[in-house]
Structure 1
Amino acid sequence: MMRAFKSLFWIEFKLSVRAMNLVLFGLFSPAVVAVIIGVIYGAKPAFDGAGYSFMAQSFGALSGIGICATGLMGLPLALADYRHRKILKRFEVTPVSPGMLLFVQVAVNFVYALAAMAMVYGICRMFGGGWEGGSFLYFGLSFLLVTVSIYSLGMLVASVAGNIKTANLLCTVLYFPMLIFSGATLPYEVMPPALQHVADIMPLTQGVKLMKNAALGLPIENAAVPVAVMVILAVICVVVSIRFFRWE
């Protein structure tokens, strides 16, 4: 089983590099946003009297862009394209299970999300931000939790979307609102209160808050509710995606 997983992983990883979609959107788009923010704000404080820079505050949020791009665009669209081209139909007659196909895609996309986070960190450091005495353990756990939550949504779309058009529509509906209103690009703190309440419904919003506070060493208040919501969402989406996986 592990041997088959490794073989399929390397094949899918090489194909993803050739296709360039994950390289451009999952890897370089967070880096480009980080450079733009760095050029505009540099090492300026996040706000008057802040003990950390705007770039340091942005590190956790920018890390969420890579998770969002790979989990809601890369993962589901790759499998939807395979279904459209009847490739999954060929897999159906092999010992490869739906769970293995899904988790191989998760592993491939997670590599890009980690690489994007590393690039964002390097850019933040270059512009006078990055790590400000936070907890590596809490940040790592927050990053992993957000990844599991967002990727589970991607797995659900990848499993049930009947064709590439449906997958594109569902991915667009999920991806762009989270990208814009979760705090990953537009700072959550500058949003009107009404918009903040709407954004709080999104799992990525809660995840960005956790990662920002963990990176800055700020207290994480009332974390039990968002953590519980993301875990429950992940469990439901993973179970449903494997149960109702469509080969064609």
Structure 2
Amino acid sequence: MTSTPLAPPACPVRRRPFRELLRVEARLFARSASSVLWTALIPVAAVVVLAVVPATRRPSDTYGGLSPLRVYLPILMMYVFVMSAVNLLPAVLAGYREKGILRRLSTTPVPPSRLLGAQGLIYLGVGVVIDVVLLVVAICAGVPVPRQLPGFVLSLLLVAAATLAIGLLVTALAGTERIANALGMLVFFPLMFFAGLWIPRAKMNHPLRTISDYSPLGAGVRAVQASLEGHGPAAAPLLVLAGYAVACGAIAARRFRWR
């Protein structure tokens, strides 16, 4: 009588390397003071300042009948994603490539693609957590709870996908960490300008507003603001965000270099 050999426990073994990689990368991120400062403290501090000043909680004709707090809340949410995915992530990945870490990973059981997945989860996860904190602070200051929660979540997910794709494209085009930092900053300012950081969308003239509508963060602010107001995001900004995610992601995949 022969016994049937037991099959090896495949799933837990396969998952351990990625979990360990995710844990190590998360610890490295937490030790980086600049990453935590620019990604978390600045937008949270800005929302707190807007929340404690009475004048910024009152509706104003200058901002289309909304309060400055309600206008700048979605803009600061966009800031979190663009800082994490477009400014910080490319510098880290380009630095890994420049130091040969991606090349060495290709010779181990953990492929370099898992490093991309771990980095993407860390930076986008941090972005989601900080955006939740921003929303909670704003709600405590009188901003209503999003009346279109599914549309709100969908809008943020598409913003996350679009900014991650743009960040990977910057990584693919940057040969070194220094170039990645320069390209990230070069992309950051136009993105945030058309999101309304310096000139709110309600005060933009028609040409600027049109360009903003077709920019990734302008579309993101438009979709998130509509969800906060209870109208639900229109199809146009969602399609713009999806288009940036697909187009930039496809180009990044073709141009990405592991060494």
SS where residue 218 of structure 1 aligns?
Answer: coil
Unaligned runs of 5+ in 2: 1-13
Work out which of the residue numbers 173, 185, 195 in structure 1 matches 2:186.
173
Partner residue, 1:207: 220
1:194 aligns with 2:207: yes
1:224 aligns with 2:240: no
Q: For residues 86-111 of structure 1, what are the alpha-carbon distances to aligned partners after superposition, in whole Å with 9 as ceiling and x for unaligned?
A: 22232122233343222211100012
SS where residue 129 of structure 1 aligns?
Answer: coil
When the two structures are superposed, what TM-score results if normalisation uses the length of structure 1? 0.87
When the two structures are superposed, what TM-score results if normalisation uses the length of structure 2? 0.84
2:43·2:80 contact (CA, 8 Å) conserved in 1?
yes
1:42·1:127 contact (CA, 8 Å) conserved in 2?
no
Structure 2 CA distance for partners of 1:152 and 1:129, relative to 1, 3 Å: same
The amino acid that maps onto 2:123 is: N
2:219·2:237 contact (CA, 8 Å) conserved in 1?
yes
Structure 2 CA distance for partners of 1:80 and 1:53, relative to 1, 3 Å: same
Q: How far is the alpha carbon of 1:23 from its aligned partner?
A: 1.0
Partner residue, 2:129: 115
Q: How far is the alpha carbon of 1:186 from its aligned partner?
A: 3.9
Structure 2 CA distance for partners of 1:191 and 1:26, relative to 1, 3 Å: same
Separation in 2 of the partners of 1:127 and 1:183? 22
Q: How far is the alpha carbon of 1:215 from its aligned partner?
A: 1.2
Separation in 1 of the partners of 2:56 and 2:238? 32
Partner residue, 2:248: 237
Structure 2 CA distance for partners of 1:52 and 1:225, relative to 1, 3 Å: closer
Separation in 1 of the partners of 2:200 and 2:129? 23
The percentage of counterpart residues that share the same residue type is 29
RMSD: 2.4
Partner residue, 1:146: 159
Partner residue, 1:3: 16
Equivalent residue pairs, number: 245
Deviates more, 1:53-62 or 1:64-73: 53-62
Separation in 2 of the partners of 1:103 and 1:11? 13
1:53·1:129 contact (CA, 8 Å) conserved in 2?
no
1:72·1:150 contact (CA, 8 Å) conserved in 2?
yes
Unaligned runs of 5+ in 1: none
1:69 aligns with 2:108: no
Separation in 1 of the partners of 2:132 and 2:62? 28
Structure 2 CA distance for partners of 1:172 and 1:51, relative to 1, 3 Å: closer
Structure 2 CA distance for partners of 1:20 and 1:93, relative to 1, 3 Å: same
Work out which of the residue numbers 141, 147, 159 in structure 1 matches 2:172.
159
Q: For residues 20-48 of structure 1, what are the alpha-carbon distances to aligned partners after superposition, in whole Å with 9 as ceiling and x for unaligned?
A: 23211111121122133334534211438
Q: How far is the alpha carbon of 1:237 from its aligned partner?
A: 2.5
Structure 2 CA distance for partners of 1:31 and 1:186, relative to 1, 3 Å: farther
Q: Which has the higher contact order (CA 8 A, sep 6+)?
A: 1
Structure 2 CA distance for partners of 1:88 and 1:56, relative to 1, 3 Å: same
Q: For residues 65-121 of structure 1, what are the alpha-carbon distances to aligned partners after superposition, in whole Å with 9 as ceiling and x for unaligned?
A: 111111111211111121222222321222333432222111000121012112212
Q: How far is the alpha carbon of 1:154 from its aligned partner?
A: 0.3
Separation in 1 of the partners of 2:165 and 2:124? 12
Separation in 2 of the partners of 1:105 and 1:39? 35
Separation in 2 of the partners of 1:72 and 1:199? 18
Deviates more, 1:110-119 or 1:122-131: 122-131
1:76·1:157 contact (CA, 8 Å) conserved in 2?
yes
